[in-house]
Amino acid sequence: MSALQTVALVIFLVTLVQVIRSTDVREIWTSSSSRLAITNATALVMLLWFLRLHTSLGPDIHFLMTGALTLTLGFRAATLSASLCLLVLCLAGQSQWVMIGVNGIAKVLLPIGITYIIFALSWHKLPRNFLVYIFLCAFLPAALVLAISMLTLGGYYVLDDVYSAQAIIDNYLMIIPLMLFPEALLNGVAITLLVIYKPEWVNTFHDKFYFDNDQ
């Protein structure tokens, strides 16, 4: 394990422990709607993370879906859910154990944290409108966090001499523009369908604020 991997692992584990300590797992799990939301959201994200593009010329590429996961479960539950997905990937041999800290930061902490910050800012600073929620909290952040995640991983691979800078640019970073719209669309459609058919599953959405309130 390299120095960068060690530092990333420490940061990821410390953050994860803090999240676990501040989360009442028993209270979340006793609610049937929360239990169903967590189970289904985790299964969907895990499936998407297993469906990845393997290439010998650069890192694996896959959709994140952490935007919809964060809006559905909230920051703490989404962090635990995505961390579980990452653990399963390692157990299944789809991800290296030495990379769990780096992946934890790039694919869990940064995407979920940034998505939740954008949601919190929109909640406090902007009118509580359904279209604002869908486009500003789900659609746009999904594209943003995917780009940040891939740039973070690309930077790590170069700094740790896993791949050359040119290989990362040609075979990884050049893919980012092609991934942004599908990622944004995937998250936006998922949240739209959930708030229409299963609003009780979406932790950050409330009818009385987005439909029944003229704020």
DSSP assignments along 44-84, one per residue: HHHHHHHS-B--TTS--B----HHHHHHHH-HHHHHHHHHH
The CA distance from 166 to 158, in Å, is 9
Question: Does residue 50 surpass a pLDDT of 80?
Answer: yes
Average pLDDT, the chain: 91
Highest mean pLDDT among 57-66, 69-78, 206-215: 69-78
Determine the pLDDT at residue 98.
94
pLDDT of residue 212: 63
What is the reported pLDDT for 213?
Answer: 57
157 is a domain residue: yes
pLDDT bracket for residue 215 (50, 70, 90): very low
Instruction: Indicate whether 33 belongs to any domain.
Output: yes
- In this prediction, residue 55 carries a pLDDT of 72
Q: Answer yes or no: is pLDDT of 181 > 80.
A: yes
What pLDDT does residue 28 have? 78
Residue 164 lies in a domain: yes
pTM over 0.85: yes
Domain region containing 87: 3-52+59-210
In a domain, 215, yes or no: no
Q: Band of the pLDDT at 127, cuts 50, 70, 90?
A: confident
Nearest to 139 by CA among 160, 118, 158: 118
> Is residue 171 domain-resident?
yes
Q: Where are the alpha helices (DSSP H) in the chain?
A: 3-21, 25-30, 32-50, 66-73, 75-91, 100-103, 110-125, 130-132, 140-159, 165-171, 176-197, 207-210
For residues 52 and 78, what is the distance between their CA atoms, to the nearest angstrom?
A: 21
Of the candidates 69, 107, 28, the one whose C-alpha atom is nearest the C-alpha of residue 187 is: 69
Residue 29 binned pLDDT confidence (cut-offs 50, 70, 90): confident
Instruction: Give the whole-number percent of the chain exceeding pLDDT 90.
Output: 73
Q: Based on the structure, what is the number of domains in the chain?
A: 1
- pLDDT per residue as tens digits for the range 88-118: 999 999 989 999 999 999 999 999 999 999 9
- Number of Cβ atoms within 10 Å of the Cβ of 1: 12
Rg from Cα positions in the chain: 17
Q: What is the mean pLDDT of residues 50-70?
A: 86
CATH at 74:
1.10.1760.20
pLDDT value at 71 more than 60 = yes
